[in-house]
């Protein structure tokens, strides 16, 4: 069974894209567009204080009439972030994604952000794991 730690170690670039509380929403949106990602962690130094996603901007920014250039990211971010430790399983992550209706999950170990997983990361890893199991069983059955 693959753990969150295994998945993070296997990511080609386990870069943690973030903004600070001082950044404006436009800065966060620009970074997300540049990196082709759907969320950023909001960090005050090394402390995780929130997560900002496209969904946050749509619901708390655009629909509330806030301007991206003059709105601090802290006004629209999600402050109470669900996190996992690197020792959790992919199934634990899927359960959180489903129950909490979230799409991004920071990985926190000893109070430090170790990475961020998306629902796509987890789904792709589970598909790869199942494919490997199927291949193993086919080889076992055919004797190859």
Average pLDDT for the chain: 92
Q: What is the DSSP letter of 78?
A: B
Q: What is the pLDDT of residues 36-45, one digit of tens each?
A: 999 999 999 9
| Residue 25 in this model has a pLDDT that exceeds 80 | yes
In terms of residue numbers, what domain contains 105? 4-142
Look at the chain and report how many structural domains it folds into.
1
């Amino acid at each position: 069974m693959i753990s969150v730690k295994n998945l993070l170690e296997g990511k080609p670039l386990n870069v943690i894209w973030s903004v600070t509380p001082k950044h404006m929403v436009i800065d966060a949106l620009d970074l997300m567009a540049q990196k082709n990602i759907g969320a950023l962690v909001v960090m005050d130094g090394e402390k995780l204080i929130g997560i900002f996603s496209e969904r946050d901007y749509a619901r708390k920014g655009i629909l509330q009439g806030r301007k991206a250039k003059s709105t601090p990211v802290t006004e629209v971010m999600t402050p109470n972030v669900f996190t996992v430790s690197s020792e959790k399983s992919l199934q634990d992550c899927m359960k959180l994604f489903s129950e909490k209706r979230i799409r991004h999950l920071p990985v926190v170990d000893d109070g430090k952000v170790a990475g961020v997983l998306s629902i796509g990361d987890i789904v792709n890893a589970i598909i790869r794991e199942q494919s490997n199991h199927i291949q193993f069983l086919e080889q076992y059955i055919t004797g190859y």
